Structure 1
Amino acid sequence: MTAVGESATDLRTGGPSRRADGIAPVTSIPVTSMPVSSLPARSGARSLLGPGWPLTLLLALYPLWWALGLGVLVFPLAAVPMAVQLWRRHAAGRPVRLPPGFWLWLAFCATVVAGLAVLDVDPEGTVVAGFGDRITAVAFRLVQYAALTILLVYAGNLSTAVLTQRRLVNLLGWLFAVTVAGGLLGTFAGSFEFTSPFELLLPDGVRGKSFVKSLVHPYAAQIMDLVGDPAPRPAAPWGYTNTWGNNFCLLAVWFAVAAFAYRTSLRTRILAVATLVVSVVPVVHSLNRGLWIGLGVTAVFVAVRQALAGRVRSLIALGVVGAGLIVALAATPLGDVVERRMDNGKSNGVRMFLTERALAGFTESPVLGFGSTRNTVGGRNSITVGESAACERCGNFTVGGNGQLWQLLFAHGLVGTVTYFGFFGYALWRFRRDRSAIGLAGTAAIAGSFVAALWYNSLVTPLAFTFLGYVLLWRNEQTRPGA
């Protein structure tokens, strides 16, 4: 990757004055040639508690939020001060910039709200329930979509004098390191879990519900039988194995930018390489084929973009890394784990069953969908099979729970699907000429999210990180001369 440029407001000590809300004025300043290393140093406390603190605290202290039992619940909490700062900016007569193509995202959100009108409809083959039975999960999604929308606008309006591009990249790179640490914890201490402080505050009848427990009860791994024996699959600190794998892909590119695209010490780069090498262990032990495919797609995407820009060394590097990985898998027990996973496709039948149900539901309500997911009657082999305390995964599968694409088609129809992917597709087109390290990483993350939509759901943290990648691309565009 090429070196990353910063805006003039990032690099000079005499830039525009900082406002109380930390949000930048609309005008842009041309890029200077001053090196990134000339950025003035800040104390840790000032960086955490200064202007822009809601976003900084949200990302930098996410392991703490997870341990406290807040996890993804921290996003709506952080959105409150973000919204207040945006409102103060508006009240002061300073325009709030909106992301390019934002009308597509607003159209998607409107579709989600319109889906409330059909919550009491029961598609064929799903469990009969009413509006009141489904509104809790739907309200959770609505709140999270609203919170992440505020995050997107707030982060895009933060002045680069308050939150530099490099600092935001570093925060995302830090979360990749957290993901690797959580993966190692899940691999070697899969039974690790504890009751969080927030969980203790909840009534027994509430915290005992499986959905609530998945939000407030920290655990290292999900124990699943995929290769013959129950084995831990890393999940910390993201709650689910699939979410862990999705976030690993989304954050890996930013870790690479933070470690190798800026001027960093040799010690930092050695530590980064060691982190990447060690990360192979939880990646393999996650038994997550979607993660494996996603990493391959991301690597190829970056290499091809570099090659099209005349940097053919990236293709050579990709070949060397690929060959080294093959040798490592062949020479270590990790190769046996991969082989067993490929030979055992226990989840294939369930995924195909849910995909068929999602497409069948789409044909029943192709325009706006059914407003939310539904649970199937029975399992894929018999309608008499259902979920129970003794077998929580025996039936009543969630239609739309096997990938963002299938959830959008079933829950929000053609309108929701087109507007959701249209927003991110527009970003790929809009920022296609950005060949900086941030441009490569941001477009790779968004492109990877399209592939991940076949088997991963995006709410909450994967969508948040995709939005922040969008923000980095958007801010990069604003700092170019003539923007």
Structure 2
Amino acid sequence: MTVRDTRRDSRAAWPIGALLVGYPVWWALGFGGLAVIVLAFPMAYILWRRRPIRLPRGLGLWVLLLAGYLLSALMLAEMPQDTYGEFGAGRIVGYLMRLALYVSLLIMVLYLGNLTERELPQLRLVRMLGVLFVTTVAGGLLGVLFPSFAFTSPLERVLPGWISGNAFVQNLIHPTAAQIQKVLGHASPRPEAPFEWANAWGSNLSVLLIWFVVGWWVYGGPRRKAVTAVLVAAAAVPVVYSLNRGLWIGLGLAALYVVVRVGGRARLAICAAGALGAVVFVASPLADLVVQRLDNPHSNDIRAFTVSATIEAAEGSPIIGYGNTRNAMGNHRTITTGKTDWCRECGHPPLGSDGQLWHLIITQGFVGAALYVAFFLGAIRRYWPDRSPVGLAGVLVMILVLLYMFVYDGLVTPLSLYLISFALLWRNTYA
């Protein structure tokens, strides 16, 4: 093969490289997780030119999920019991944006699965995810050191106010380093750069860490392994300061999974490294912060209220849901519907905002939620026998998806990483 042939083969992989390696640029421009919508167009063009298109097993469940979302548009104007709000542009914009994301993610999976190993080697894709892990750690440290850092993106400047002012859109297009929340009884910065929410940062970091270890440690030489050790240690700082219990549980589950599924001397090495890391962590000031967070479970009541209210509202449209989220009457503290002089913390928690499972239940009904669960459960069952590093890592991500759906929203960037991981598993069956 000539150098020219190699370059021609690698050109087809540029959209995924632009998404993962170029993500900081997309974030600074205001696109962030929306970049996948922009890049879905060249992905679709490349895909179209190589018909017939290869399809993965289990994709029918995702297509049904997408079809159900289309049907849910019929309920956009309806109001479930004990919710309020007007049917207007904001609700339609949110629906259309989510629809564009779902379609774009479908295109991305098919695009990745139809690239040949010569066009996009598995290791190159894994290492692209590793580059995004480095970006995520840098963003986390930015959020810890400079939590008030924020700026108006170019996209935010050009969008009309009725779009950019939408709360959901604003989170996506306005770059910020951290969310400031009263988690420990005082204002605490929770890193979120370069993603849309602090919880998205936590979910993404755990997924990217898995692929970073595979690409830079398992398949890396001495220098890459040394860099890996330094970066993983650096990541511990924003991981703790994120005050993200879901992330902590996910990392613990990942460690247990690796110990159980990896045997021989590798298991002993992992256990030894984990024990050493635990000793160093306990001796550091970070341990006190973890204890404080566990002693302040301030969000438990909020989550309990929104989850129960979501399920009650969804019972009014259990098959296709309501197409978009709704605002609950009152909150966990009061039945009033907004802030007052005597209750500054009263507000309107969006139903379905505490996890992808609850989001699907309100937007697509119990059927949509079941299809989502079945898609990722099917991937675990199908690829469990694959004991290669990519197979083990991909199945672990699928397991984390089912854990995180109870506490994290999948949209926007987390779902992109979940489906890239699915594509890696699929590609591994014929790579």
* Fold-level similarity (TM above 0.5): yes
Query: Any residues of structure 2 matched to 1:91-170 within 5 Å, and which?
Result: 95-130=52-87, 132-170=89-127
408-417 or 451-460, which deviates more: 408-417
Residue 30 of structure 1: aligned partner: none
1:72 to 33, 36, 50: 33
Which residue of 452, 455, 458 maps to 2:404?
452
> SS of the residue aligned with 1:222?
strand
CA pair 451-55 structure 1, distance change in 2 beyond 3 A: same
Asked whether the equivalents of residues 66 and 102 of structure 2 are also in contact (C-alpha less than 8 Å), the reply is yes
Counterpart residue type for residue 470 of structure 1: F
Residues 426-455 of structure 1 show CA distances to partners (whole Å, capped at 9, x for unaligned) of 111111111010001100011111101110
Deviation per CA, 1:253-280, whole angstroms, max 9, x where unpaired? 1000111221x33222111100001110
Q: How does 1:16-31 map to 2 (within 5 A)?
A: none
Q: Of residues 210, 213, 221 in structure 2, which corresponds to 1:265?
A: 221
The structural deviation recorded for 1:425 is: 1.3
User: What root-mean-square deviation, in Å, do the aligned CA atoms of Structure 1 and Structure 2 show?
Assistant: 2.3
Task: Kindly state the Cα deviation for residue 373 of structure 1 after the two structures are TM-superposed.
Answer: 1.4
Deviation at 1:131?
A: 6.0
Per-residue CA distance 1:347-396 (angstroms, 9 max, x = gap): 11101101111221233332222222111112222222426999996311
Q: How does 1:195-234 map to 2 (within 5 A)?
A: 195-204=152-161, 206-234=163-191
**Letter of the structure 1 residue corresponding to residue 377 of structure 2:** G
1:160-309 to 2 correspondences below 5 Å:
160-204=117-161, 206-262=163-219, 264-306=220-262
> 2 CA distance for matches of 1:317 and 1:233?
32
5+ long unaligned stretches in structure 2:
none
**Partner SS for 2:190:** strand
Indicate the larger mover: 452-461 or 319-328.
319-328
The answer for the alignment partner of 2:418 in structure 1 is: 466
Q: What letter corresponds to residue 315 of structure 2 in structure 1?
A: T
Question: Are 1:125 and 1:377, in contact at CA under 8 Å, matched by a contact in 2?
Answer: yes
Q: Distance in 2 between matches of 1:396 and 1:407?
A: 16
Residues 72-106 of structure 1, C-alpha deviations (whole Å, 9 max, x = no match): 2211110011111222223xxxx101121111110
> Which residue of structure 2 lines up, in the alignment, with residue 58 of structure 1?
19
Partner of 1:395: 347
Amino acid corresponding to residue 255 of structure 2 in structure 1 = A
Shift of 1:459: 1.2
In 1, the alpha carbon distance for the partners of 2:320 and 2:118 equals 42
Counterparts of 1:77 and 1:210, CA distance in 2 = 21
| Structure 1 residues 179 and 54: CA distance shift in structure 2, 3 A | same
> Aligned with 1:328: secondary structure?
helix
Paired AA for residue 60 in structure 2: W
For 1:76, give the aligned amino acid: I
Query: Percent of aligned pairs with the same residue?
Result: 42
Q: Is contact 1:72-1:215 (8 Å) kept?
A: yes
Matches within 5 A, 1:356-371: 356-371=308-323
**Greater Rg by CA:** 1
Distance 2:77 2:162 in 1: 25
1:89 to 29, 35, 50: 50
| Normalised TM-score (structure 2) | 0.94
CA distance in 2, matches of 1:390, 1:60: 48
- 2: CA distance between counterparts of 1:267 and 1:146? 40
CA–CA distance in structure 2, aligned partners of residues 144 and 390 of structure 1: 40
**TM-score, with length taken from structure 1:** 0.84
